[in-house]
Amino acid sequence: MFAIVDYDTGNTRNLKKALDYLGIENILTSDPEKITAAQAVILPGVGAFEAAMEALRQRNLVSVVQKVAKDKTPILGICLGMQLLFDDSEEYGLHQGLGLIPGHIKAIPKQAGLKVPQMGWNQNQLRQKDSFFESIDQQFTYFVHSYYAECEERFLVASVDYGIEIPSIVQNDNIIGMQFHPEKSGRVGLELLKNFQKMVKTNDFTCN
Protein backbone atom coordinates (compact mmCIF):
# COMPACT_ATOMS: atom_id res chain seq x y z
CA MET A 1 0.00 0.00 0.00
CA PHE A 2 1.27 3.44 -0.96
CA ALA A 3 0.36 6.34 1.29
CA ILE A 4 -0.27 9.72 -0.32
CA VAL A 5 0.26 12.26 2.44
CA ASP A 6 -2.96 14.25 2.79
CA TYR A 7 -2.23 17.66 4.28
CA ASP A 8 -4.77 19.82 2.51
CA THR A 9 -2.51 20.82 -0.33
CA GLY A 10 -3.88 21.31 -3.83
CA ASN A 11 -4.79 18.59 -6.25
CA THR A 12 -3.62 15.47 -4.49
CA ARG A 13 -6.65 13.79 -6.00
CA ASN A 14 -5.22 13.86 -9.51
CA LEU A 15 -2.23 11.96 -8.22
CA LYS A 16 -4.53 9.43 -6.59
CA LYS A 17 -6.42 9.07 -9.88
CA ALA A 18 -3.17 8.29 -11.69
CA LEU A 19 -2.20 5.63 -9.14
CA ASP A 20 -5.70 4.15 -9.29
CA TYR A 21 -5.49 4.09 -13.08
CA LEU A 22 -2.20 2.20 -12.86
CA GLY A 23 -3.65 -0.22 -10.34
CA ILE A 24 -1.21 0.85 -7.63
CA GLU A 25 -2.93 0.35 -4.29
CA ASN A 26 -2.94 3.62 -2.39
CA ILE A 27 -4.61 5.64 0.32
CA LEU A 28 -4.83 9.36 0.85
CA THR A 29 -4.10 9.81 4.54
CA SER A 30 -2.73 12.06 7.25
CA ASP A 31 -2.72 9.26 9.82
CA PRO A 32 0.86 8.82 11.14
CA GLU A 33 0.31 5.10 11.72
CA LYS A 34 -0.83 4.47 8.16
CA ILE A 35 2.02 6.55 6.77
CA THR A 36 4.53 4.68 8.91
CA ALA A 37 3.13 1.31 7.84
CA ALA A 38 3.05 2.17 4.12
CA GLN A 39 5.27 0.42 1.61
CA ALA A 40 6.04 3.80 0.03
CA VAL A 41 5.11 7.38 0.83
CA ILE A 42 4.18 10.01 -1.73
CA LEU A 43 4.37 13.64 -0.72
CA PRO A 44 2.43 15.81 -3.15
CA GLY A 45 2.19 19.55 -2.94
CA VAL A 46 1.04 22.69 -4.67
CA GLY A 47 1.33 26.18 -3.25
CA ALA A 48 3.85 27.98 -1.07
CA PHE A 49 6.73 26.23 0.76
CA GLU A 50 6.22 27.53 4.29
CA ALA A 51 2.44 27.12 4.18
CA ALA A 52 2.98 23.47 3.25
CA MET A 53 5.58 22.93 6.01
CA GLU A 54 3.19 24.54 8.49
CA ALA A 55 0.38 22.26 7.31
CA LEU A 56 2.67 19.24 7.88
CA ARG A 57 3.66 20.54 11.34
CA GLN A 58 0.03 21.07 12.34
CA ARG A 59 -0.63 17.43 11.57
CA ASN A 60 2.56 16.34 13.37
CA LEU A 61 3.78 14.84 10.13
CA VAL A 62 7.27 16.36 9.87
CA SER A 63 8.84 13.85 12.24
CA VAL A 64 6.72 11.04 10.79
CA VAL A 65 8.04 11.63 7.27
CA GLN A 66 11.60 12.02 8.59
CA LYS A 67 11.26 8.76 10.50
CA VAL A 68 10.00 6.72 7.54
CA ALA A 69 12.81 8.22 5.47
CA LYS A 70 15.32 7.03 8.04
CA ASP A 71 13.73 3.56 8.02
CA LYS A 72 14.48 3.42 4.28
CA THR A 73 10.88 3.54 3.14
CA PRO A 74 10.87 4.94 -0.39
CA ILE A 75 9.54 8.50 -0.46
CA LEU A 76 8.48 10.31 -3.60
CA GLY A 77 8.01 14.07 -3.39
CA ILE A 78 6.20 15.72 -6.29
CA CYS A 79 6.45 19.40 -7.31
CA LEU A 80 6.32 21.37 -4.05
CA GLY A 81 6.48 17.99 -2.31
CA MET A 82 9.91 17.49 -3.89
CA GLN A 83 11.05 20.94 -2.75
CA LEU A 84 10.03 20.15 0.83
CA LEU A 85 12.56 17.28 0.83
CA PHE A 86 15.47 19.75 0.77
CA ASP A 87 17.12 21.69 3.61
CA ASP A 88 15.46 25.04 3.08
CA SER A 89 13.72 27.40 0.67
CA GLU A 90 13.98 31.11 0.02
CA GLU A 91 10.31 31.38 -0.97
CA TYR A 92 8.88 34.33 1.04
CA GLY A 93 11.82 34.39 3.49
CA LEU A 94 14.14 31.55 4.46
CA HIS A 95 12.25 28.49 5.68
CA GLN A 96 13.39 25.11 6.84
CA GLY A 97 12.40 21.97 4.91
CA LEU A 98 12.47 18.28 5.79
CA GLY A 99 16.23 17.99 5.26
CA LEU A 100 16.15 14.63 3.48
CA ILE A 101 18.20 15.74 0.48
CA PRO A 102 21.04 18.25 0.95
CA GLY A 103 20.34 21.40 -1.04
CA HIS A 104 18.36 24.61 -1.24
CA ILE A 105 15.23 25.83 -3.00
CA LYS A 106 15.77 29.06 -4.94
CA ALA A 107 13.72 31.34 -7.15
CA ILE A 108 14.01 30.80 -10.91
CA PRO A 109 15.88 33.91 -12.11
CA LYS A 110 13.78 36.07 -14.41
CA GLN A 111 15.94 36.16 -17.50
CA ALA A 112 15.13 37.80 -20.78
CA GLY A 113 12.28 36.04 -22.48
CA LEU A 114 11.74 33.44 -19.80
CA LYS A 115 8.44 33.53 -18.04
CA VAL A 116 8.12 32.64 -14.37
CA PRO A 117 6.47 30.36 -13.37
CA GLN A 118 7.87 27.81 -15.76
CA MET A 119 4.58 26.37 -16.95
CA GLY A 120 4.43 23.74 -19.65
CA TRP A 121 6.27 20.78 -21.18
CA ASN A 122 10.05 20.74 -20.97
CA GLN A 123 12.53 18.17 -22.26
CA ASN A 124 14.53 16.09 -19.80
CA GLN A 125 18.18 15.14 -20.00
CA LEU A 126 19.21 12.08 -18.06
CA ARG A 127 22.07 12.96 -15.72
CA GLN A 128 22.60 9.58 -14.13
CA LYS A 129 22.79 6.19 -15.75
CA ASP A 130 21.32 3.00 -14.33
CA SER A 131 18.47 4.81 -12.74
CA PHE A 132 14.96 3.41 -12.40
CA PHE A 133 13.90 6.59 -14.14
CA GLU A 134 16.19 6.45 -17.17
CA SER A 135 13.20 6.21 -19.53
CA ILE A 136 12.77 9.94 -18.95
CA ASP A 137 15.77 10.79 -21.14
CA GLN A 138 14.78 13.21 -23.96
CA GLN A 139 11.13 13.00 -22.91
CA PHE A 140 8.94 15.99 -22.11
CA THR A 141 7.17 16.30 -18.76
CA TYR A 142 4.76 18.91 -17.44
CA PHE A 143 6.06 21.59 -15.06
CA VAL A 144 4.37 24.34 -13.06
CA HIS A 145 6.78 26.05 -10.65
CA SER A 146 8.57 29.28 -9.76
CA TYR A 147 11.32 27.82 -7.55
CA TYR A 148 13.90 25.13 -8.21
CA ALA A 149 16.32 22.93 -6.30
CA GLU A 150 20.00 23.71 -6.11
CA CYS A 151 21.88 20.59 -5.11
CA GLU A 152 25.06 18.61 -5.69
CA GLU A 153 25.34 16.76 -8.95
CA ARG A 154 25.33 13.37 -7.27
CA PHE A 155 21.66 13.85 -6.36
CA LEU A 156 20.72 14.78 -9.92
CA VAL A 157 18.96 12.06 -11.94
CA ALA A 158 17.55 14.26 -14.70
CA SER A 159 17.24 17.94 -15.48
CA VAL A 160 15.69 20.43 -17.89
CA ASP A 161 17.04 23.60 -19.44
CA TYR A 162 15.12 26.75 -18.55
CA GLY A 163 17.85 29.33 -18.96
CA ILE A 164 19.49 27.57 -16.03
CA GLU A 165 19.69 23.86 -15.41
CA ILE A 166 16.67 22.85 -13.35
CA PRO A 167 16.68 19.46 -11.60
CA SER A 168 13.63 17.50 -12.71
CA ILE A 169 14.34 14.26 -10.84
CA VAL A 170 16.53 14.09 -7.75
CA GLN A 171 17.42 11.11 -5.63
CA ASN A 172 19.18 10.57 -2.34
CA ASP A 173 19.09 6.85 -1.67
CA ASN A 174 15.43 6.03 -0.89
CA ILE A 175 14.32 9.65 -1.27
CA ILE A 176 13.10 10.65 -4.73
CA GLY A 177 11.84 14.01 -5.94
CA MET A 178 10.12 14.98 -9.17
CA GLN A 179 9.78 18.67 -9.91
CA PHE A 180 7.24 18.06 -12.68
CA HIS A 181 3.80 16.49 -12.35
CA PRO A 182 4.02 12.82 -13.43
CA GLU A 183 0.25 12.63 -13.00
CA LYS A 184 -0.10 15.29 -15.71
CA SER A 185 2.67 14.17 -18.04
CA GLY A 186 0.74 11.69 -20.18
CA ARG A 187 2.16 8.23 -20.74
CA VAL A 188 5.72 9.34 -19.88
CA GLY A 189 4.52 10.42 -16.44
CA LEU A 190 2.53 7.25 -15.88
CA GLU A 191 5.57 5.19 -16.80
CA LEU A 192 7.69 7.06 -14.26
CA LEU A 193 5.14 6.30 -11.56
CA LYS A 194 5.30 2.64 -12.58
CA ASN A 195 9.09 2.80 -12.40
CA PHE A 196 8.81 4.17 -8.89
CA GLN A 197 6.59 1.21 -8.04
CA LYS A 198 9.23 -1.11 -9.49
CA MET A 199 11.88 0.54 -7.38
CA VAL A 200 9.72 0.06 -4.30
CA LYS A 201 9.19 -3.61 -5.12
CA THR A 202 12.86 -4.38 -5.65
CA ASN A 203 13.85 -2.24 -2.69
CA ASP A 204 16.91 -1.24 -4.67
CA PHE A 205 18.07 2.37 -4.44
CA THR A 206 21.54 1.79 -5.79
CA CYS A 207 21.45 4.55 -8.33
CA ASN A 208 23.71 6.68 -6.16
Complex with another protein: residue 121 or 205, whichever CB lies closer: 121
- The site for another protein, by CB under 8 A, has a size of 30
Do the beta carbons of residue 118 and residue 144 sit within 8 Å?
Answer: yes
Q: Is 183 one of the annotated active-site residues of the chain?
A: yes
50, 54, 79, 104: which one is catalytic?
A: 79
Among 144, 173, 207, 208, binds another protein (CB under 8 A): 144
CB of 61 to another protein, least distance (A): 22
Q: What are phi and psi of 89, to 5 degrees?
A: -135, 145
| Residue 5: strand pairing partners | 29
Residue closer to another protein, measured from CB, 106 or 184: 184
Check binding of 91 to another protein (CB under 8 A). no
Q: Which position among 1, 8, 14, 154 is part of the footprint of another protein (CB under 8 A)?
A: 14
Cβ pair 42, 65 in contact under 8 A: no
For residues 195 and 208, give the distance between their C-alpha atoms in angstroms, rounded to a whole number.
16
Using CB under 8 A as the binding rule, whether residue 207 contacts another protein is answered as no
| CA separation for the pair 119, 113 (Å, rounded) | 14
DSSP letters spanning 13-36: HHHHHHHHHHT--EEEE--HHHHH
**51 counts as binding another protein under rule CB under 8 A:** no
Q: Which of 34, 59, 104, 184 binds another protein (CB under 8 A)?
A: 184
Please classify residue 60 by burial: count the beta carbons closer than 10 Å to its beta carbon, then call 0-12 exposed, 13-18 middle and 19+ buried: exposed
Residue 104 falls in the annotated catalytic set: no
Residue 79 is a catalytic residue:
yes
| Nearest distance in Å: CB 70, another protein | 32
Name the residues annotated as catalytic.
Answer: 79, 181, 183
